[in-house]
Chains A and B, each alone.
Chain A
Amino acid sequence: MSDRAINFPSLVNNNKMGSAIREYYWAIASGILVLLICVHQQFPGISQIENLTLLPVGRWIDAVFSVLLVLKPVLQIVGQIVSFAYEQLALLLQALPIPFTLIALVSAAFFLAGTGPAVVVLGVLMYCIASGYWSQSMTTLALAVVAIVYSSIIGFWVGVLGHRRPFLRSWIEPALDVMQTMPTFAYLIPLLLFFGFGPSVGLIASVIFAAPPMIRNTMLGLRMVPSAISEVALMAGATPWQRLWLAEVPTARSQIMIGLNQTTMAAFSMVIVAALIGGFNDIGWEVLSSIRQARVGDSIVTGMVIVLLAVALDRVTIAAISHSSPTAKIPQRERFLRWALAILTVLIGMWCLVYRPEVSWPDSWAISAQGVDEWLSGFITKYASTLAEIKATFFFYFLLPLKIGVGKLLAGSQMATQQYYQMNAAYLIVALLGISVLLAIAVSTRASFWFMFASATLYFGLTGLPWFVMTFAVSALAFHLGGRRLAAFAALVLGFILLTGQWESASISIYICGAGVIISILIGTPIGILAAKSHFVAPIVRPVCDFFQSIPLFVFLIPVLMLFGVGDFTGLLAIVAYSIIPIVRYTEEGLRQVPEVQREAAIACGCTPRQVFLNVELPAAMPVLLLGINQAVLFSLAMLAIASLVGTAGLGQTIYVALSKNQPGIGLLAGICMALIGILADRILRASTRLGTLSEAN
């Protein structure tokens, strides 16, 4: 993050520039919006999706697949080669005596990363033993390590290629977006179809998901290498290979290592998905089993194994990077200590291999969290009515209006007869139009446009908003922020979703993810601000964020469901629990990055603390904050696929249904739609940061 340059915001608002054009633009947009809504009211048939000719894209994909199946024998051989390393490593880790593995891994951590990480590794491995899932943990470790090795090697070279050949980069970047935004479930069945059943599918899925951060960071790191360094290497007569290896890569090293770190985390988050296919008998499978039986305690115990393994590898890689930097010199005494430890490890290891001591951890000592389930039932018994009230309030005043709209709510109430409702609706529309006109005169036509769109959304609900109104509003926003190209992209994305018959599921997805992101912003931003301002809050918030980010998402679902029952509200809370993390993290990060000079200058000008915060810190941190929202949108889409396991409808559910009907095409199509929504949201938010910094720089 430290590489991000933050523009000095000017304290004077310079928005007047070009405002004439903008005023004009929004007035026209408002006019079209009113016209479209009138069209919908007058001819409701037009907005009916059933009246459109839909493209059977799902079936086309299936047809392409059935042709491509010719490649299956070749791909299966590829799959066997890919899974060979994993199978050998898993066999090895299973076969070695536990004390040997323990000593070998701990001393490896010590040599690579130092004392602290070695202690962490020891603790994590002890937890694996104590949880009673040692052998499953080792399978998971083997899977993750092999996936990380493949992802980082492939990622590095694709990154180098993308850096060297700019025309390739323009293909790589959108591909990475799709790889990171498409729910992994969507491509499991196609992978299964082509690679056959076995560990290769889980591994390949992990690599698809975990390689992009490595690619991105390698490209970014190489791009940021000062041209002077490359030129010096060139003048010194370095071959392109030497230039890359001796000059550019060492300079870009820290950025590449950030990529490696993110790849590690991503690979661990795929453990559960790999378990969904099966073929591993790993800890992910145990997590799934406990969740299936709704045993919350067990799912936390097993889920923690994944969290802790991820933390251990994370700490070791981070420390290894700083430890092994070329400038660091090992002191004489430590060198002696290292030798002693190495010899000791080898000796103990050999003793273990020869005598094979049986380590048995008594079952009665095993870590258990049965108490969690009992506590949860007790809590429900005690607070059932309070929980029901919380849910009802949220549901009626927030979710329902957003989903089906105030209009339907009024019509649905027992007292309102059809006529009464129509009269009411007419008054409401007149009133809203009046407010819009007032806003246009008093504030700006832009405010008036968004007010109109917001009231239309609330009136029709996100799932009832006619497709052309939605498409127009999003495209208008995209045009304002990013110009013609972004507007065309927005229209294309929404058009694709519409014509492939996914509009209905997509609108439910947008509703639930939108609601989730809004709540995340409302709750997450204050927490992030607190963490940035207070030295007491930050150390508490960070490990909590780490925990929530690396624990398998499934683990949240059951406890939330037991508190609030099956349905949208539970899905929403699960989404919030996950998408709030980037909001908190980026808010904290953004505020911490504000240069001290700016803050001091503002204080010197006589600003009150509140003014410093609102007029200096917040605008300066805005780009980073928006990046956090961007991440939150992606996180919420990722969680949506999983929330369908508690009965949340939408594109996630479409993927599962396609899975059972053996229609890989429809599943993939729904996945593509989710990826497109994610990418569109990303582009719009990015455009708004650019606009923000631009208008500030002017």
Chain B
Amino acid sequence: MTLGSRRNFHAAALLCAIALPEYAVAAEMGSTDPIKMAMNEWTSQNILAQVAGRLLSKAGYVVEYVTAGSNTQLTPLSAGELTVAMEIWTVNSGPAFEQLVDEGKITIVGPTGLEGKGGWVYPKFAEGLCPGLPKWEALKDCSGVFSTIETYPQGQLIDFPPDWGNTYSAERFTAFGLDFKSVSGGSEGAITAALRSSIAAKKPVLAYFWWPHPIFAELELAHVEMPAWAAECETDPSWGINPSATYDCDERPNAIVIAAWPGMKDKWPRAYEILEQFRIDNDEDMRLAHEVENGAKLGAVADEWMTKHATQWRAWLDHASK
């Protein structure tokens, strides 16, 4: 296997050496084949994909939008059947993503500019029932407030479904000495529905959720405040308030990146460089996502971003064409 691939590599290098002088001008642009942009199952990602797709179209590329599940997209991404996946949350992509990046089967192009984080959230009205929130210490005496018949007498945390990777909530409960139990939420729709129903029924829930997410614009939610995250907190028990436990701190910041098929850099070099430039911030992204979820057309919202940020993206294109 290794011998074969090495031989291929030499052959490819040789071909490049012969081919390069002839295509020196065109190599910047690369292939005219369509770039396949993954459209995942959440709004914010769709906005990023549409905006990035428009950028690449402006640069002269053909872009094809392909719907793809966030779990099922990894295999096609590593095989080149999809080219780009915007907005991959590295902490929650499961071990499969990490493994594919380590093996060099998926390339990380760069950050999206979004700053993601996960953590425990609750509806604002719960502060009346559990005084002391949003400080985590308040939860010590509030397991009854968040208790359900499934977890009684413990409090319930609606956690990420197990297929999104470990949130280490159970470890945090132990480390902080909280009498809570983590229960799988099942899916994004399920957790969202549970939060909405909690506010309608005035029955408090504690859920693991992530932001940026448009739900924070719709519902009055608050985050539980925990000691700031540090790398040692996850490895060194003596760190932090509990000297004998790890994870006695907040959630690790979630890097949100653009991932691509490793062959993209060679096939569409300029497109790759444009995406390296791409940045959007949380507030802007959430504003757009909220518009879409309130009924605006996705394409119109992406067009609006393009007209408003013309100078910004022109600079990215210019930088990439140098």
Q: Which residues of A contact B (CB under 8 A)?
A: 188-189, 192-193, 196-198, 275-281, 285, 288-289, 291-294, 376-378, 380-381, 384, 387-388, 391-392, 395-396, 557-558, 561-563, 565-568, 644-649, 653, 656-657, 659-662
Task: Please give, as numbers and ranges, the residues of chain B lying within 8 Å of A656 by CB-CB distance.
Answer: 161-163
Task: Please give, as numbers and ranges, the residues of chain B lying within 8 Å of A396 by CB-CB distance.
Answer: 149
Decide if B74 touches A196 in the complex (CB within 8 Å): no
Question: Which of A198, A294, A392 has a CB less than 8 Å from the CB of B196?
Answer: A294
Q: A277-B69, A565-B148, A647-B185 are in contact. Are A661 and B96 (CB under 8 A)?
A: yes
Decide if A646 touches B67 in the complex (CB within 8 Å): no
- Considering the complex, give the chain A residue whose CB is closest to the CB of B203: A384
Decide if B203 touches A293 in the complex (CB within 8 Å): no
Decide if A647 touches B184 in the complex (CB within 8 Å): yes
Decide if B200 touches A561 in the complex (CB within 8 Å): no
User: 1/0 per residue B176-200: CB within 8 Å of A?
Assistant: 0000000111111111111011001
Decide if A645 touches B187 in the complex (CB within 8 Å): yes
Task: Please give, as numbers and ranges, the residues of chain A lying within 8 Å of B73 by CB-CB distance.
Answer: 197, 278
Binds A, one of B20-28, B50-58, B76-84, B121-129: B76-84
Decide if A197 touches B200 in the complex (CB within 8 Å): no
Task: Please give, as numbers and ranges, the residues of chain A lying within 8 Å of B254 by CB-CB distance.
Answer: none
- Considering the complex, give the chain B residue whose CB is closest to the CB of A654: B162
Decide if B183 touches A566 in the complex (CB within 8 Å): yes
Decide if A281 touches B189 in the complex (CB within 8 Å): no
- Considering the complex, give the chain A residue whose CB is closest to the CB of B66: A279
Interface centre among B71, B150, B190, B196 (most CB of A within 10 A): B190
Task: Please give, as numbers and ranges, the residues of chain B lying within 8 Å of A279 by CB-CB distance.
Answer: 66-68
Task: Please give, as numbers and ranges, the residues of chain B lying within 8 Å of A557 by CB-CB distance.
Answer: 189-190
Question: Which of A280, A380, A653 has a CB less than 8 Å from the CB of B197?
Answer: A380
Task: Please give, as numbers and ranges, the residues of chain A lying within 8 Å of B200 by CB-CB distance.
Answer: 376-378, 380-381, 384, 562
- Within 138-173 of B, Cβ neighbours of A (below 8 Å) are at 148-150, 158, 161-165
Decide if A197 touches B162 in the complex (CB within 8 Å): no
Closest 4 CB pairs of A and B: A197-B76, A662-B96, A384-B201, A278-B68
Task: Please give, as numbers and ranges, the residues of chain A lying within 8 Å of B189 by CB-CB distance.
Answer: 291-294, 557-558, 645
Decide if B185 touches A395 in the complex (CB within 8 Å): no
| Interface assignment of B135: CB less than 8 Å from any CB of chain A | no
- Considering the complex, give the chain B residue whose CB is closest to the CB of A396: B149
| Interface assignment of B319: CB less than 8 Å from any CB of chain A | no
> Beyond A292-B189, A384-B201, A660-B95: 6 further Cβ-contacts under 8 Å?
A192-B75, A196-B76, A291-B189, A381-B201, A644-B184, A662-B96
Task: Please give, as numbers and ranges, the residues of chain B lying within 8 Å of A380 by CB-CB distance.
Answer: 197, 200-201
**How far is the CB of A189 from the nearest CB of chain B, in Å?**
7
Decide if B190 touches A566 in the complex (CB within 8 Å): yes
Task: Please give, as numbers and ranges, the residues of chain A lying within 8 Å of B203 by CB-CB distance.
Answer: 384, 388
Please report the C-alpha to C-alpha distance between residue A566 and residue B181 in the assembled complex, in whole angstroms: 13
Decide if B194 touches A197 in the complex (CB within 8 Å): no
Decide if A198 touches B81 in the complex (CB within 8 Å): yes
**How far is the CB of B129 from the nearest CB of chain A, in Å?**
15
Please report the C-alpha to C-alpha distance between residue A659 and residue B161 in the assembled complex, in whole angstroms: 12
Please report the C-alpha to C-alpha distance between residue A189 and residue B71 in the assembled complex, in whole angstroms: 10
Task: Please give, as numbers and ranges, the residues of chain B lying within 8 Å of A280 by CB-CB distance.
Answer: 67
Please report the C-alpha to C-alpha distance between residue A563 and residue B94 in the assembled complex, in whole angstroms: 31
- Considering the complex, give the chain A residue whose CB is closest to the CB of B201: A384
- Considering the complex, give the chain B residue whose CB is closest to the CB of A201: B72
Decide if A647 touches B186 in the complex (CB within 8 Å): yes
Task: Please give, as numbers and ranges, the residues of chain A lying within 8 Å of B188 by CB-CB distance.
Answer: 292
Question: Which of B82, B95, B96, B164 has a CB less than 8 Å from the CB of A197?
Answer: B82
- Considering the complex, give the chain B residue whose CB is closest to the CB of A656: B163
Question: Which of B42, B94, B161, B205 has a CB less than 8 Å from the CB of A292?
Answer: B42
Please report the C-alpha to C-alpha distance between residue A660 and residue B74 in the assembled complex, in whole angstroms: 10
- Considering the complex, give the chain B residue whose CB is closest to the CB of A379: B200
Decide if A285 touches B67 in the complex (CB within 8 Å): yes
Task: Please give, as numbers and ranges, the residues of chain B lying within 8 Å of A192 by CB-CB distance.
Answer: 72, 75-76
| Interface assignment of B246: CB less than 8 Å from any CB of chain A | no
Task: Please give, as numbers and ranges, the residues of chain A lying within 8 Å of B291 by CB-CB distance.
Answer: none
| Interface assignment of B293: CB less than 8 Å from any CB of chain A | yes
| Interface assignment of B202: CB less than 8 Å from any CB of chain A | yes
Decide if A395 touches B149 in the complex (CB within 8 Å): yes
Task: Enumerate 6 A-B pairs (CB-CB under 8 Å) in ascending A order.
Answer: A197-B73, A279-B67, A285-B67, A294-B193, A384-B201, A558-B193
Task: Please give, as numbers and ranges, the residues of chain B lying within 8 Å of A378 by CB-CB distance.
Answer: 200
Q: A558-B193, A561-B193 are in contact. Are A647 and B161 (CB under 8 A)?
A: yes
Question: Which of B72, B149, B201 has a CB less than 8 Å from the CB of A392?
Answer: B149
Decide if A645 touches B76 in the complex (CB within 8 Å): no
**How far is the CB of B320 from the nearest CB of chain A, in Å?**
27
Q: A294-B193, A380-B201 are in contact. Are A278 and B67 (CB under 8 A)?
A: yes
Q: A294-B196, A645-B187 are in contact. Are A278 and B66 (CB under 8 A)?
A: yes
Interface centre among A280, A396, A562 (most CB of B within 10 A): A562
Please report the C-alpha to C-alpha distance between residue A563 and residue B82 in the assembled complex, in whole angstroms: 39
Please report the C-alpha to C-alpha distance between residue A292 and residue B150 in the assembled complex, in whole angstroms: 24
Task: Please give, as numbers and ranges, the residues of chain B lying within 8 Å of A189 by CB-CB distance.
Answer: 72, 75
- Considering the complex, give the chain B residue whose CB is closest to the CB of A72: B79
Interface centre among B69, B186, B188 (most CB of A within 10 A): B186
Decide if A565 touches B94 in the complex (CB within 8 Å): no
| Interface assignment of B43: CB less than 8 Å from any CB of chain A | yes
Interface centre among B72, B94, B201 (most CB of A within 10 A): B201
**How far is the CB of B111 from the nearest CB of chain A, in Å?**
23
Task: Please give, as numbers and ranges, the residues of chain B lying within 8 Å of A645 by CB-CB distance.
Answer: 161, 186-187, 189-190
Decide if B67 touches A275 in the complex (CB within 8 Å): yes
- Considering the complex, give the chain B residue whose CB is closest to the CB of A664: B75
Please report the C-alpha to C-alpha distance between residue A277 and residue B95 in the assembled complex, in whole angstroms: 19
- Considering the complex, give the chain B residue whose CB is closest to the CB of A559: B193
Decide if B162 touches A662 in the complex (CB within 8 Å): no
**How far is the CB of A566 from the nearest CB of chain B, in Å?**
5
Decide if A277 touches B72 in the complex (CB within 8 Å): yes
Decide if B94 touches A647 in the complex (CB within 8 Å): no
Task: Please give, as numbers and ranges, the residues of chain B lying within 8 Å of A288 by CB-CB distance.
Answer: 41
User: 1/0 per residue B206-227: CB within 8 Å of A?
Assistant: 0000000000000000000000
Interface centre among A292, A388, A562, A566 (most CB of B within 10 A): A566
Task: Please give, as numbers and ranges, the residues of chain B lying within 8 Å of A646 by CB-CB distance.
Answer: 186-187, 190
Task: Please give, as numbers and ranges, the residues of chain B lying within 8 Å of A561 by CB-CB distance.
Answer: 190, 193-194, 197
Please report the C-alpha to C-alpha distance between residue A660 and residue B92 in the assembled complex, in whole angstroms: 10
Task: Please give, as numbers and ranges, the residues of chain B lying within 8 Å of A563 by CB-CB distance.
Answer: 197
Please report the C-alpha to C-alpha distance between residue A294 and residue B207 in the assembled complex, in whole angstroms: 15
**How far is the CB of B39 from the nearest CB of chain A, in Å?**
8
Question: Which of A188, A384, A660 has a CB less than 8 Å from the CB of B96?
Answer: A660
Decide if B186 touches A659 in the complex (CB within 8 Å): no
Q: A278-B67, A285-B67, A292-B42 are in contact. Are A644 and B186 (CB under 8 A)?
A: yes
Decide if A661 touches B94 in the complex (CB within 8 Å): yes
Task: Please give, as numbers and ranges, the residues of chain B lying within 8 Å of A644 by CB-CB distance.
Answer: 161, 184, 186
Task: Please give, as numbers and ranges, the residues of chain B lying within 8 Å of A566 by CB-CB distance.
Answer: 158, 183-186, 190-191, 194
**How far is the CB of A218 from the nearest CB of chain B, in Å?**
33
**How far is the CB of B145 from the nearest CB of chain A, in Å?**
15
**How far is the CB of B293 from the nearest CB of chain A, in Å?**
6
Decide if A278 touches B185 in the complex (CB within 8 Å): no
Task: Please give, as numbers and ranges, the residues of chain A lying within 8 Å of B158 by CB-CB distance.
Answer: 566, 647
| Interface assignment of B238: CB less than 8 Å from any CB of chain A | no
**How far is the CB of A509 from the nearest CB of chain B, in Å?**
15
Question: Which of B41, B71, B191, B192 has a CB less than 8 Å from the CB of A659?
Answer: B71
Please report the C-alpha to C-alpha distance between residue A693 and residue B81 in the assembled complex, in whole angstroms: 56
- Considering the complex, give the chain B residue whose CB is closest to the CB of A289: B41
**How far is the CB of B203 from the nearest CB of chain A, in Å?**
6
Task: Please give, as numbers and ranges, the residues of chain B lying within 8 Å of A647 by CB-CB distance.
Answer: 158, 161, 183-186, 190
**How far is the CB of A356 from the nearest CB of chain B, in Å?**
21
Task: Please give, as numbers and ranges, the residues of chain A lying within 8 Å of B71 by CB-CB distance.
Answer: 659-660
